[in-house]
Amino acid sequence: MKLQFFKYQGTGNDFVILDNREGSFPKSDTQLVAKLCDRRFGIGADGLILLENDETTDFKMVYYNADGEEGSMCGNGGRCLVAFAHYLGIVDKETTFNAVDGLHYAEVEGDMVNLKMVDVDQVHEKPAYSFLDTGSPHHVQLVKDLGHFDVQKEGKKLRYGLYGKTGSNINFVEQEDEETFQVRTYERGVEDETFSCGTGVTAVALAMHTAGKTKANQVHIHTLGGDLAISFEQRAGGYTNIFLKGPAIQVYKGEIEC
């Protein structure tokens, strides 16, 4: 089987994207997905995304983690898929699409994609960290000297030790100023640190606002792969009108024999 694929990245969070509107991709073949995402024996990516037809919106997003299993929502992946839909001519400057966590709206401005995330009803604050779900589960923890922090070791420890088999994504955060934070993320499904995580930086922005670390309703996040902006409105017990904005770039396209 020969597959045409597209490689996209959003602040270093990279994805194999396939146009599956004809439904030809073998979606139950987890080994194939894992192989395509493998950085030595495949294309190499943090995840694989299928663009599919949807009855009520412009398209449907189906996301797989690099381990081959279907995953929860991926914010940077969603932004990259919007850029891909724009490239295909499916959408122009605005779109709505369906994903595993529900309906999403997005805007395209050149290479920038502004994606509306799901509402967050609650941020669980613990003495040393916060936990919330922004389409995917996220642990948010402030640390010192983030640049030298062992994200792989400490992220793996928390991902399995605190959250068990189901797991959670683990975000380590250092504050720069009132509106700016540095973030490094250990992602479940990838089981490693990634250059960026869209649902993760969204979780960080909301957790830092809940904790009183910022009063701003727009927060800037520095990741290893680049900068993202998160805007939101606070409501009783949670947050609404949450937007994740950043670049979404096509790296290359090609064909691969499977």
Q: Kindly report the length of the chain.
A: 258
Q: In degrees rounded to 5, what are phi and psi of residue 52?
A: -125, 165
Residues flagged as binding site for substrate: 13, 65, 75-76, 169, 187-188, 198-199
Q: Which amino acid is at 74?
A: C
Q: Which secondary structure element, helix H or strand E, spans residue 247, and what is its range?
A: strand 238-247
Tell me 120's DSSP state. Answer: B
Specify binding-site residues.
13, 65, 75-76, 169, 187-188, 198-199
Question: In sequence order, what are the beta bridge partners of 167?
Answer: none
Give the integer Cα–Cα distance in Å for 239 and 193.
27
At residue 57, what is the residue type?
T
Separation CA 213–CA 36 (nearest Å): 41
Q: What are phi and psi of 78, to 5 degrees?
A: -60, -40
The widest CA-to-CA distance across the chain, in whole angstroms, is 53
Q: Which residues does the annotation mark as catalytic?
A: 74, 197
